[in-house]
Copies of this chain bind each other. A is one copy, B any other.
Amino acid sequence: MTVKVILVDDHSVVRSGLRRLLESHKSLEIAAEADTGELAYQIYGEVLPDVVLMDISMPGMGGLEAAKRILQRYPQARIVIFSMHEAVSFAAQALKAGVKGYVTKTGLAEDLVQAVLDVSRGKTFLSQDVAQKIALQTLIGETNPLQQLTSREFEVFRLLAEGKRVEDVAEMLKISQKTVANYYTLIKQKLSVSSPVEMVRLAMKHGLIDAE
């Protein structure tokens, strides 16, 4: 009984590497590849895989957006996101979206295989490093205010914290500047920061951005 997997990443080199890695395990079969979220969504219906393994950051519709689309049409879909972000918030957003696995690229290669296997059996998989951070945060009783943000708010927040102007964000997200401005105000309220400066520092504290 093999597990059918769809591989989604915009870099073909990465896809090859992943394919090799996963196929080294006999019960895994790469049924299809896709280089965009849009394509992944299309072929999902044709292939009906057991698991989708998808990069979080891709041009156009990102991994999370694509995951949400798929889950909307196929609520039972099992999706594993892999990501370069070790930040807790990204994992939180992904799981909130209904994704079943979150693996960081800095983790072990075996983790990826394990994640796909676990998820194919209905389990949930979370990378060791992220799990540890969350566990520690929880134990200390520290709350992550970023988790109050909705998916869209988080997206806007991240872009603004990266230094994008309201105008740019509006364009990237294809929504009006007005909407972004309104989100901005709302986000600042939710995070109880009063200036862009505090916002950046918060983002930095939670590992969303670096000082370079």
A residues at B contact (CB < 8 Å): 160-163, 165, 194-201, 204-205, 209, 211-212
Partner of A200, one of B160, B194, B196: B196
- 5 new A-B contacts, CB < 8 A, other than A163-B197, A163-B201, are A163-B198, A196-B200, A197-B200, A204-B211, A205-B212
Nearest CB of chain B from residue A137's CB, rounded to whole Å: 15
Which one of A198, A211, A212 has the greatest number of beta carbons of chain B within 10 Å?
A211
Inter-chain contacts of A161 with B (CB < 8 A): 197
A39 to chain B, nearest CB (A): 34
Report how many copies the assembly holds. Answer: 2
Contacting pair A195 B197 (CB below 8 A): no
Q: How far does the Cβ of A167 sit from chain B's closest Cβ, in whole Å?
A: 11
| Chain B residues whose CB sits within 8 angstroms of the CB of A160 once the complex forms | 197
Residues of B within 8 A of A212 (CB): 201, 205
**Roughly how many angstroms separate A204 CA and B197 CA in the complex, as a whole number?**
11
What B residues does A194 contact at CB under 8 A? 165
A71 to B58, CA, bound (A): 58
Chain B residues with Cβ under 8 A from A201's Cβ?
Answer: 163, 200, 209, 211-212
For the complex, give the distance between the alpha carbons of A211 and B212 in Å.
Answer: 13
Q: Which of B162, B195, B198, B204 contacts A204 (CB 8 A)?
A: B204
CA distance A148 to B204 in the complex (A): 26
CB distance from A121 to the nearest CB of B (A): 40
Q: A194 vs B195: C-alpha distance in the bound complex, in angstroms?
A: 15
Max count, chain B CB within 10 A of own CB: residue among A160, A165, A201: A201
Nearest-CB distance from A161 to chain B (Å)?
7
Chain B residues closer than 8 Å to A211, beta-carbon distance: 201, 204-205, 211
25 intermolecular pairs with C-beta atoms under 8 Å apart: A160-B197, A161-B197, A162-B197, A163-B195, A163-B197, A163-B198, A163-B201, A165-B194, A165-B195, A195-B196, A196-B196, A196-B197, A196-B200, A197-B199, A197-B200, A200-B200, A200-B201, A201-B209, A201-B211, A201-B212, A204-B204, A204-B211, A205-B211, A205-B212, A211-B211
